Amino acid sequence: MATEPLNTAEPVAAPRRPVLQSLDDALATLLAAVSATCAAQSETVSTFDALGCVLAEDVCSLLDVPPADNTSMDGYAMRAADVPVVGTVLPVSQRIPAGVVGQPLQPGTAVRIFTGAQVPPGADVVVMQEQCEAVAGDGLGAVRVNLVPPAGQWIRRRGEDVQRGAVVLAAGTRLTPAALGLAASVGAATLKVARRPRVAVFSTGDELVMPGEVLPEQMRPGAIYNSNRYTLRGLVQAMGCEVQDLGIVPDRLDATRAALRAAAARCDLIITSGGVSMGEEDHLRPAVQAEGRLDLWQIAMKPGKPLAFGAVRREDGSEAWFMGLPGNPVSSFVTFLLTVRPVLLRLQGAHAESWALRSYPLRAAFDWPKPDRRREFVRARVNAEGAVELFPNQSSGVLTSAVWADGLVDIAAGQVITRGEVVRFVPLSELG
């Protein structure tokens, strides 16, 4: 009897899923690779123009703030010992508006005083005008005090906010409007800051067209407006960086390589969106590999799975960093916030805590019954009850969700959420 031949062929292996790198690991790799090159090239700028910059040296106060005891209220300065009972009437001996230095207080009298004015020597309390009654009399008249005031009330003491010699802003601080005001309050007209990173932004794709150049009714089939160019440019500008906008680069290898060389020659970081996959028309990946080096990572996050990181060589042998973001609008937006923003802060020598992902516990006003195997960042906002609600469509192409949201809910891989549970909410204001 004939026997069937043995099947010696190797079994066909099932395709493997790509190994996904955690966001935390990817971020650690990015920050370890990038050095504070911009911080090493500091510049001095007007305090008016330093918003968003990172301090390159400490700001120390050369004076006490406030420089003298002053009142925080409009009212009357006096000695507490001169008001033993409610209804005590004291003659008004002088009037001191802000910017005027008064004479020492005469015992048994009061001084009409206004917010910010220096408290005269001898006075140890200010009573707000709402707790006093003006009484007619000779000269400046008198005042009836309708309480027994405690000594020290409504007086801001010299150096209460800042003492002379104190460090008010440390090197590595990213300057906010409040920080600029604090610097000005100690007399800093200029600030030494890290050089602003120069960032090149360009898009690849023959399907892209620009608003204003092509009307909607004139768009060819398959064409889309280049929204990522506006989003990424705005994000870079909001980080206080100098933007080099190279526009839309044609889907050709030679054009892409030329754009990379031009960007590397004058920028610290090159950012692109889309075009780093394995498709025949995706020229960005081979272009970066030809002009420098490239790692293409699969990140265990949603949205924003693909992330490219590398460098483009310059003629002098130095390098410009390269980061390739996903092409979908929301993926590009979220990936910038979570990966590019920390890199830009690192380039400027910012404090490590400034790029940390800070989240806050809030109650969920939603159910999340079908988790993903990746860590998810879903667009959300805080409602009137203080709970977090989700945008109904979490697709990575729905840019309206990023405008509607005021934060992201950080959902761990495989995490199921039931309405009322506590979730981690990341305000977008923390990622600016």
Checking if the pLDDT of 12 tops 90, the result is no
H and E: helices and strands count for the chain: 9, 26
Each residue of 135-178: pLDDT tens digit?
Answer: 998 999 999 999 999 999 999 999 999 999 999 999 999 999 99
Evaluate the CA torsion angle 200, 45, 234, 300 in order and state its sign: positive
Q: What pLDDT is stored for residue 6 in this prediction?
A: 42
Q: How far is it, in rounded angstroms, from Cα 409 to Cα 424? A: 6
Q: What pLDDT is stored for residue 1 in this prediction?
A: 43
Q: How many CA atoms lie within 13 A of 20 on its CB side?
A: 14
Checking if the pLDDT of 17 tops 80, the result is no
Q: What pLDDT is stored for residue 283 in this prediction?
A: 81
Q: What is the mean pLDDT of residues 268-285?
A: 76
Q: What pLDDT is stored for residue 16 in this prediction?
A: 58
Q: How far is it, in rounded angstroms, from Cα 66 to Cα 155? A: 11
Q: In 171-240, which ranges are continuous DSSP H helix?
A: 177-185, 227-238
- The candidate with the shortest Cα–Cα distance to 360, out of 426, 429, 412, is 426
- Domains in the chain, ordered, with CATH? 23-39+195-355 (3.40.980.10), 43-65+160-193 (3.90.105.10), 70-156 (2.170.190.11), 360-431 (2.40.340.10)
Each residue of 206-254: pLDDT tens digit?
Answer: 788 788 888 888 888 888 888 889 999 999 999 989 999 998 888 889 9
Checking if the pLDDT of 105 tops 60, the result is yes
Q: How many CA atoms lie within 13 A of 149 on its CB side?
A: 29
Residue 358, both tokens: 């800070």
Percentage of the chain with pLDDT > 90? Answer: 78
Checking if the pLDDT of 332 tops 70, the result is yes
Read off the pLDDT band of 284 (50, 70, 90). confident
Q: How far is it, in rounded angstroms, from Cα 145 to Cα 79? A: 12
* 335 phi and psi angles, rounded to 5 deg: -65, -35
Residue 384: helix, strand or coil by DSSP?
Answer: coil
Candidate ranges 10-14, 160-164, 245-249, 271-275; pick with highest mean pLDDT: 160-164
Which of 236-240, 314-318, 354-358, 374-378 bottoms out in mean pLDDT, i.e. has the lowest?
354-358
Q: Which residue has the tokens 């800051």?
A: 193
* 372 phi and psi angles, rounded to 5 deg: -95, 165
Residue 352: helix, strand or coil by DSSP?
Answer: helix
